[in-house]
Amino acid sequence: MTDPSAELEAFRAEVRTWIEQNFPKSLAGRAGALMGGETIDDSQREALEWGKRLGAKGWATPTWPAEYGGGGLSQTQARVLNQELDRAGAFNPLVRTTGMGITMVGPTILEYGTEDQKQRHIPRICRGEVFWSLGYSEPNAGSDLASLQTRAEDAGDHWVVNGQKTWTSGADISDWCGVLVRTDPDAPKRDGISFLMIDMNQPGIETRPIRLIGGASPFCETFFNDARAEKNEMLGEMNAGWTVGKRLLQHERQSQTGATSGLGGGPRKSLGDLAKEYVGVDEQGRLADPDLRARVTDQMMEAKAHALTLARIAAEARGNAKVSAAASIMKNAASTIAQKRAELSLEIMGSQGLGWEGEGFEKSELDAVRNWLSGKAMSIYGGSFEIQNNIIAKNILGLPENTQRG
């Protein structure tokens, strides 16, 4: 009988060797700087080449079926892969360079797509050749998403799409967009929605970036003016897009729990080490401020408990992890932990945590301020903190519906 642990260690050795042979050591530990950068320097080019190698191997999407370009690995093997990426300070650039492709759109196509759709779209996502965005929210349809008014009309051999979306992350640089549209205006609002995959490279689509307080512009307003969507690009059945769209959001929340980021990049400096560096220690080597020491300890314990819970969920799934409403719990927990860390980081840095630009600040200090600001959105995007609590109440605790049904 084959020893599973021996097989896993053999796989680990294979992964370690492949990473040593293919990952540029000059990129070690630089995931955040490179993936967030806007300029293409030599390091960015190396990162793009590394992404191509990872995609060609199938390890950018390790658990996706090999027949579509994925790695075909088990959940256990995927964890080993992520562990070895972290050990080498390596990362998966395709998680960001495909936009919503790996974390949301791809998994949904694998579940609801036709064989033709899988063959056309999934391999390109696996190789990092296409950037996906999503058209969900509208100016008058945010938390009440089912009130959306962007419509798609049957033009015989294609759909004609008109309307406006907002907060469409990366729409200005995306190749494709998954859009929720109204295909039956006379049906109850959740029953008249369909999910269309739309080619963004056409004159009928206009995007306008929205500048955020953190300085970046990842979000856009997107206008569809007689835009074209092909008949074979409807994901799922006509007027059943609400079901498809909700499932995609579960994948989004799962990606925001901290369980499947796939970025790697090696361990970052702990909050305790950061505090010792800026605040100093007493004669016993402890943080000199006892109140801060207690709060840093609490935050580190919460982060560790969160990580252990994610590991337990994966272990209990016995290598066949499923996305469920429980992702809402972990998404809210991840948001709270990240925001607390950002707040504490600025407090620890003192006046050095108040900079926006200038030679008096290290890049890590300026990044901390921007991360603190942009991190405020974590409890809003992917479904707000309150929306997640409603999902938890209804689908996990079994509490009665206290708003409209659906």
Catalytic amino acids?
252
Structure tokens at 376: 């405020």
Task: For residue 385, give the nearest of 304, 329, 345, 303 by alpha carbon.
Answer: 329
The string of DSSP codes covering 209-248 is: EE--TTS---EEEEEEEEEEEEGGGEESSTT-HHHHHHHH
Which distant-in-sequence residues (6+ apart) come within 8 Å of 218 by Cβ?
169, 170, 212
Q: What angle do CA 79, 80, 86 make, to 5 degrees?
A: 90
Cβ count within 10 A of residue 337: 20
Task: For residue 109, give the nearest of 93, 126, 95 by alpha carbon.
Answer: 126
Structure tokens at 85: 């990426």
Distance CA 293, CA 347 (A): 12
SS3 193: strand
The answer to whether the CB of 117 falls within 8 A of the CB of 235 is yes
Q: Print burial letters for 174-195: b (CB count within 10 Å at least 16), e (below 16).
A: bbbbbbbbbbeeeeebbebbbb
SS3 content of the chain, % helix, strand, coil (to 5): 50, 15, 35
Structure tokens at 66: 């090999």
Which secondary-structure segment (H or E) carries 117? helix 115-126
Half-sphere exposure in the Cβ direction for 139 (13 Å, CA):
5
Phi, psi of 285, rounded to the nearest 5 degrees: 80, 15
